[in-house]
Structure 1
Amino acid sequence: MDYLTTLLLLISIVSASIIRILIRRFESVRLPPGPRPFPIIGNILELGINPHKSLTKLSKIYGPLMTLKLGSITTIVISSPQVAKQVLHKNGHVFSSRTIPHSVQALDHHRFSIVWLPPSPKWRNLRRVCATKVFSPQLLDSTQILRQQKVHDLLDFVKERCKKGEVIGFCERKMQKILVNVWAIGRDPTIWENPEMFMPERFLECEIDFKGHDFELIPFGTGKRICPGLPLAHRSMHLVVASLVHNFEWKLADGLVPENMNMEEQYGISIKRVQSLLVEAISIKHD
Structure 2
Amino acid sequence: MDHLTLLLFISFIFFILFFIFQTRSSQSAAKNPPGPRPLPIIGNILELGTLPHQSLTNLSRTYGPVMTLKLGRTTTVVISSPQAAKEVLQKKDHAFSFRTIPDTIRAHDHDQISVVWMPPSSQWRVLKRICVTEVFSAHRLDSTQTRRQRKLQDLLNYVDEFCRNGEALDISDAVFTTVLNSISNTFFSMDLARYTSDKSQEFKDIIWGIMEEAGRPNVVDFFPVLRVLDPQRARSRMMSHFGKLFAFFDGLIEERLRFVGLEMEFKRFNDVLDSLMQLMMNENPQVSRPQVLHLFLDLFVAGIDTTSSTIEWAMAELLRNPEKMKIAKDELRQILREDEQLEEFHISRLPFLRAIVKETMRLHPSLPLLVPHKTEDEAELCGCFVVPKNAHVLINAWAIGRDPNVYDDPNQFKPERFMDNEIDFKGHDFELIPFGAGRRICPGLPLANRTVHIVLASLLYHYDWKNPNGFKAEDMDMSEMYGISLHKAIPLKAIPIKA
TM-score of the pair, normalised by structure 2 = 0.46
Partner of 2:381: 167
Between the aligned partners of 2:456 and 2:474, the Cα distance in structure 1 is 23
Per chain length, whose mean CA-contact separation is higher, i.e. which structure has more relative contact order (CA < 8 Å, sep 6+)?
A: 2
SS in 1 for 2:408: coil
> Is 1:56–2:57 an aligned residue pair?
yes
Partner of 2:433: 218
SS in 2 for 1:69: strand
Shift of 1:165: 3.5
1:4-23 pair list within 5 angstroms: none
Partner of 1:187: 402
Partner of 2:122: 121
Q: Is the 8 A contact 2:379 2:389 kept in 1?
A: no
Question: Which deviates the most, 34-43 or 266-275?
Answer: 266-275
SS in 2 for 1:108: helix
Q: Is the 8 A contact 1:47 1:55 kept in 2?
A: yes
Between the aligned partners of 1:273 and 1:234, the Cα distance in structure 2 is 20
- Structure 1: gaps of 5 or more residues: 1-17, 147-162
Partner of 1:261: 476
Partner of 2:97: 96
1:1-287 pair list within 5 angstroms: 28-136=29-137, 137=139, 165-168=379-382, 169-174=384-389, 176-284=391-499
Deviations 1:79-113 (A, max 9, x none): 00001111110111111111112333341112211
Deviations 1:253-274 (A, max 9, x none): 2221102112232322222233
Q: Is the 8 A contact 2:77 2:387 kept in 1?
A: no
Shift of 1:283: 3.9
Aligned pairs, number: 250
Q: Aligned AA for 2:117?
A: W
Q: Aligned AA for 2:478?
A: M
Between the aligned partners of 1:76 and 1:96, the Cα distance in structure 2 is 14
- Cα 1:176–1:119 change in 2 (3 A) is same
Shift of 1:239: 2.1
Between the aligned partners of 1:78 and 1:282, the Cα distance in structure 2 is 44
Between the aligned partners of 1:175 and 1:24, the Cα distance in structure 2 is 16
Question: Which deviates the most, 196-205 or 263-272?
Answer: 263-272
Between the aligned partners of 1:215 and 1:43, the Cα distance in structure 2 is 27
SS in 2 for 1:107: helix
Q: Is the 8 A contact 2:33 2:386 kept in 1?
A: no
Deviations 1:141-165 (A, max 9, x none): x89x99xxxxxxxxxxxxxxxx983
Q: Aligned AA for 1:200?
A: P
Q: Aligned AA for 1:254?
A: N
CA-based RMSD of the aligned residues comes to 2.9
- Cα 1:190–1:212 change in 2 (3 A) is same
Q: Aligned AA for 2:437?
A: T
Between the aligned partners of 1:275 and 1:123, the Cα distance in structure 2 is 38
- Cα 1:240–1:274 change in 2 (3 A) is closer
> Greater helix percent: which structure?
2
Q: Is the 8 A contact 2:69 2:76 kept in 1?
A: yes
Q: Aligned AA for 1:38?
A: L
Question: Which deviates the most, 92-101 or 74-83?
Answer: 92-101
Question: Which deviates the most, 163-172 or 90-99?
Answer: 163-172
Shift of 1:68: 0.3
Between the aligned partners of 1:24 and 1:254, the Cα distance in structure 2 is 63
Q: Is the 8 A contact 2:101 2:117 kept in 1?
A: yes
Q: Aligned AA for 2:393?
A: I
Q: Is the 8 A contact 1:76 1:175 kept in 2?
A: no
Between the aligned partners of 1:100 and 1:234, the Cα distance in structure 2 is 27
SS in 1 for 2:57: helix
Shift of 1:245: 1.4
SS in 1 for 2:105: helix
Q: Is the 8 A contact 2:378 2:389 kept in 1?
A: no
Between the aligned partners of 2:52 and 2:388, the Cα distance in structure 1 is 25
Partner of 1:155: none
SS in 1 for 2:449: helix
